[in-house]
Amino acid sequence: MSDILKMLSYCVEVGKMDKLSPYPPNMRGEDGADELAKKALDSGAKPGDILEKALIPAMAIVGNRFSKKEIYVPQMLMAAKAMNSAMKHLKPFFQSGETKRKGKFIIGTVSGDMHDIGKNLVAMMIEGGGWEVIDLGVDVSTEKFLKSISENPDAVIGLSALLTTTMENMKKTVEAIKGKYSDSKILVGGAPLTMDYCKLIGADFYSPDPQGAVNYLNKLVS
């Protein structure tokens, strides 16, 4: 991995957003995730590599540290902000799919859940894969999903949940969607989910990562 990617990964890990951000104090005045993501792209790194080799592993480290109580919510939040600072440079690349739109994809993080980094990554990758993405955001109620499906009846639906508590809300949303639109295809994802849980709640597919989500959607139209 290049030095730029290593440094970018480290910036996300420690929550260094950009050159002007005062946090962490020992890196004051140094490039942050914002500048380094841009430099990585300028030096020829592929957006997918920046994502998979630098950003996603950094967030995994942050998550493990949080689990072990080595860091707390504020540090986690700073890391998420640093990741988003880098992502703003990658987003146009993921969105500029050269292929014709393959269909519509509605995505949202389920009710009660504010986590959006993974959901945004999935949305970006799917958009880059040639799909029109309707992103409903975070804390999305069942009613909001149903309204969007009524406006886009052929869309595939994607639900994300990061909390064990909101997995239950995902179940309720899947039941409501399938009750009203039995032919709909629902893809679920998020760190606490499994294929078994996907089957249990009556969703159609579980993907642990964005690429699996893209592959699933592409199979539906191939």
Residues of this chain that interact with ligand B1M (CB under 6 A) are 56, 59, 62-63, 66-67, 73, 76-77, 80, 107, 112-119, 121-122, 158-160, 162-164, 187-192, 207-210, 213
d(CA 207, CA 214): 9
Nearer to ligand B1M (CB atom), residue 45 or residue 59 = 59
129 contacts 78 by C-beta, under 8 angstroms = no
Nearer to ligand B1M (CB atom), residue 29 or residue 216 = 216
d(CA 61, CA 154): 38
The tokens for 32 are: 């942050």
Least Å distance, CB 1 to ligand B1M, is 18
Nearer to ligand B1M (CB atom), residue 41 or residue 87 = 87
Least Å distance, CB 156 to ligand B1M, is 9
Nearer to ligand B1M (CB atom), residue 36 or residue 136 = 136
Least Å distance, CB 60 to ligand B1M, is 6
User: Which amino acid is present at 86?
Assistant: A
d(CA 193, CA 190): 6
Nearer to ligand B1M (CB atom), residue 17 or residue 159 = 159
Q: Is the dihedral angle over the CA atoms 154, 173, 138, 48 positive or is it negative? A: negative
Least Å distance, CB 8 to ligand B1M, is 15
Least Å distance, CB 11 to ligand B1M, is 15
